[in-house]
Every structure is written in C-alpha cells, then in structure tokens.
Amino acid sequence: MAPVNKPFWNEKSFSEMTHDEWESLCDGCGLCCLHKLENADTGKVSYTNVACRLLNTENSRCKKYNKRKKLVPDCIILKPSDLDRFKWLPKTCAYRLIHEGKDLYDWHPLKSGSSLTVFEAGISVAGKVISERDAGNLEDHIIHFEWEDDE
C-alpha cells in the first residue's frame, strides 16, 4: 500500500514552504485588507467594513498586489517570521490556523479545489465592503463577525 501524502501545510513549517506554497495559503477573502481599530485599553481589535483603496470590493482581490507596499506604505505583508505579531488575523485565516496547529476549513481553496467556496461559505468580503475613499470616520463602520463570538 502506497503511503498517503499529507498536504504541504501539514508537512512543512512556514519557513520550509516555497513562495508559491506560502502564497497559496491565502484564501482571497480580503479580511486582512479591511481597516481595523484597536482599543488602546483592552487591545481588542475591531474590524470595519472599510477596505484598503487597492482592494477590489467586488472580488476581494488586490488591484496592485505586486506593488501594494509601494502604493500603500502601511500595507502589512505577511511573512513566516512575523506571524506571532499578527493576532489580528481572523480565526478563519489559513496562516493563523496553521500557526496555531489547526487544519484549514473545508471551504479553503486548497481543500475544496475551488476559489468559489470562500464566497459560498460567506467568508469573502466581496460585495460587502466599501473603499476607504468613500468611508469617512472609521468608527462609524465597525462590524461584527459570527466567528468573533468564540474568540
């Protein structure tokens, strides 16, 4: 009987992954591209429905992915060495899940084989957010996700 190969995210550490493997962990939900507000007293991070100006709000993809840091200096580029600092990542995020020793959700494209399952599962921000150019005061745009209830 041939051995069953485990998926690369269950076999490799982040530092062992190729660039393409690392990038493929992103499910394209767009949650990391939303503006967030942190309570200075409690450290609690609140999400808003306001997206970075580079996020295409209809498909939750960055319009200028390869130039994002140059165009938006505040853009945070996730790196394997920095994940301990990114506690604001949603609990649905593959980077956070794997870092915490958990498996990906069944709707993740690497498991489902389709990028559409992120939309079908209601995880994607596509069609649910506005651009920062149209937002005004961020505090007027705080939103709540069901998955925040068990954090």
pLDDT of residue 67: 95
- The CB-side HSE value for 46 (13 A sphere, CA atoms) comes to 13
Which amino acid appears at position 133 of this protein?
A: R
How do strand 130-131 and strand 45-51 relate by DSSP bridges? parallel
Has residue 52 been placed in a domain? yes
31/128 Cα distance (integer angstroms): 11
Has residue 28 been placed in a domain? yes
127/24 Cα distance (integer angstroms): 22
Q: Percentage of residues in the chain with pLDDT exceeding 90?
A: 73
* Sign of the alpha-carbon torsion through 89, 33, 43, 148: negative
Task: Dump pLDDT digits (tens) for 19-28.
Answer: 999 999 999 9
Under the banding of pLDDT at 50, 70 and 90, the label for residue 88 is: confident
Number of domains in the chain: 1
Domain range enclosing 69: 17-150
Has residue 1 been placed in a domain? no
Say whether pLDDT at 150 is over 60.
Answer: no
Among 29-33, 78-82, 97-101, the range scoring the smallest mean pLDDT is 78-82
Under the banding of pLDDT at 50, 70 and 90, the label for residue 148 is: low
Has residue 110 been placed in a domain? yes
Task: Dump pLDDT digits (tens) for 3-40.
Answer: 667 899 999 999 999 999 999 999 999 999 999 998 88
According to DSSP, the residues that pair with 118 across neighbouring strands are none
Has residue 125 been placed in a domain? yes
